[in-house]
Amino acid sequence: MDFARLWLGLLLPLVAALDFSYHHQEEMEAFLKSVAQNYSSITHLHSIGKSVKGRNLWVLVVGRSPKEHRIGIPEFKYVANMHGDETVGRELLLHLIDYLVTSDGKDLEITNLINSTRIHIMPSMNPDGFENVKKPDCFYSNGRENDNFYDLNRNFPDAFEFNNETRQPETVAVMEWLKTETFVLSANLHGGALVASYPFDNGIPATGTLHYRSLTPDDDVFQYLANTYASRNPNMKGDQCKSKMNFPNGITNGYSWYPLKGELLFISTILLIACTQR
Ligand SMILES: *[C@@H]1O[C@H](CO)[C@@H](O)[C@H](O)[C@H]1NC(C)=O
Ligand SMILES: *[C@@H]1O[C@H](CO)[C@@H](O)[C@H](O)[C@H]1NC(C)=O
Ligand SMILES: *[C@@H]1O[C@H](CO)[C@@H](O)[C@H](O)[C@H]1NC(C)=O
Ligand SMILES: [Zn+2]
């Protein structure tokens, strides 16, 4: 075997098409870089910062003008794996990327979507947590938090009360990123329950907390979106993750589920959960 072939042989497993297994940071990076190279006209790969351990926080943008905002083209974002042990969302987003770029120009609906939306995809907000997972299970385990042992979904400023948690590098990176784009809708993928949860997660009496809920002014839109997602998945008729919660129609208001402070949920955010805690 000549040297070139040996070298290729060592490189190929990293850039080969996406398989159905978990992808560590290096494999994920290799995949994202390969997509950005092969589909350079509709993708833009950039890192919005670094984790505690110095791992890049990658975002891949898919759109007809992936590098910049265009008037009339809404900005959408997906964030997954902010809890390092909630790993399904990370893989789902990698597969979504694969599906989007390989369907462009072949599937009318996807081509239309890429023409009319700019989709920002962050497969992992907590790459250190992911690498820290020792034994994946459906309960709290190593890796939920970042490398400083902070729960990133309790680490953001809160709209309703003061959140004194020390802001983590991953959180700061996302906060700065949010200032650079005018996101109009977002989804945040977690694990541990099968439900589409819509904002708010925290609240005050004026948002309905006396009635065990906390609704946004756009509640009809959020319920519509949550229902649209949940109704497409026959498994979402009730919670499939052996927890005691039962979600009618597979959706819930975040506050009704349980109040939560400092989460990555904004007015225009919907939370989609695939099977661990949010
Ligand atoms: C990019 O193209 C190369 C060469 O055709 C191919 O081997 C590789 O699998 C492609 N990567 C992706 C992510 O499509
Ligand atoms: C998408 O945009 C491309 C390039 O501007 C155009 O050629 C194509 O007709 C559009 N397709 C759809 C389905 O909107
Ligand atoms: C944050 O607030 C809680 C409760 O109010 C308090 O127990 C804790 O010491 C505070 N932490 C910091 C870092 O100030
Ligand atoms: Zn979570």
Number of H helices, E strands in the chain: 8, 8
Nearest-angstrom CA–CA distance, 275 and 158:
26
Provide mean pLDDT across the span 216-228: 95
Closest atom of ligand 1 to 31 CA is: 13
- As a CATH number, domain 3-13+26-273 is 3.40.630.10
Q: What is the pLDDT of residues 41-53, one digit of tens each?
A: 999 999 999 999 9
Residue type, 27: E
Answer yes or no: is pLDDT of 91 > 60.
yes
Return the ligand number nearest the Cα of 101. Answer: 1
Q: Please give the pLDDT value at position 89.
A: 95
Percent of the chain whose pLDDT exceeds 70: 84
Closest listed residue to residue 118, CA positions, set 167, 161, 181: 181
Residue nearest to atom 7 of ligand 1 (CA): 16
pLDDT digits (tens, 9 = 90+) for 20-65: 999 999 999 999 999 999 999 999 999 999 999 999 999 999 999 9
Question: What's the full length of the chain, in residues?
Answer: 278
Longest dimension (CA), the chain: 73
- The phi and psi torsions of 95 (rounded to 5 degrees) equal -70, -35
The count of C-alpha atoms lying within 13 angstroms of the C-alpha of 82, restricted to the half-sphere facing its C-beta, is: 29
**Rounded to an integer, what is the distance from CA 8 to the centroid of its chain?**
33
pTM confidence score: 0.88
Max mean pLDDT among 1-5, 131-135, 229-233 falls in 229-233
pLDDT tens readout for residues 159-190: 999 999 999 999 999 999 999 999 999 999 99
Q: Mean pLDDT, to the nearest integer, of 240-262? A: 80
Residue-wise over 91-117: b if at least 16 C-beta within 10 A, else e?
Answer: bbbbebbeebbbebeeeeebbebbeeb
Look at the block and give the residue holding tokens 């979600």: 247
pLDDT band at 248; cut points 50, 70, 90 = confident
Question: Which of the four pLDDT bands, split at 50, 70 and 90, describes residue 242?
Answer: low
> What is the pLDDT confidence band of residue 266, given thresholds at 50, 70 and 90?
very low
Atom of ligand 1 lying closest to residue 37 CA: 1
pLDDT band at 17 (very low <50, low <70, confident <90, very high): confident
CA of 102 relative to ligand 2 center, distance in Å = 15
Pocket test for ligand 2, best of 115, 116, 117, 118 (most atoms within 8 A of CB): 115
Find the 153 Cα to ligand 1 centroid distance in Å. Answer: 35
What is the average pLDDT score of the chain?
A: 88
Would the pLDDT of 7 be above 70?
no
Which ligand 2 atom is at minimum distance from the Cα of 116? 14
Say yes or no: CB of residue 115 within 6 Å of ligand 2.
Answer: yes
CA–centroid distance, residue 173 to ligand 2 (Å): 34
Q: What is the dihedral of CA 226, 228, 126, 47, to 10 degrees?
A: -120
Cβ of 111 closer than 6 Å to ligand 2, yes or no, is yes
Least reliable range by pLDDT among 26-35, 46-55, 130-139, 143-152: 130-139
CA distances (Å), origin 203, targets 118, 155, 196, 253:
31, 16, 19, 11
pLDDT exceeds cutoff 90 at 154: yes
Residues 6 or more apart whose Cβ sits within 8 Å of residue 229: 196, 270, 272
Over the stretch 68-90, which tens digit does the pLDDT of each residue have? 999 999 999 999 999 999 999 99
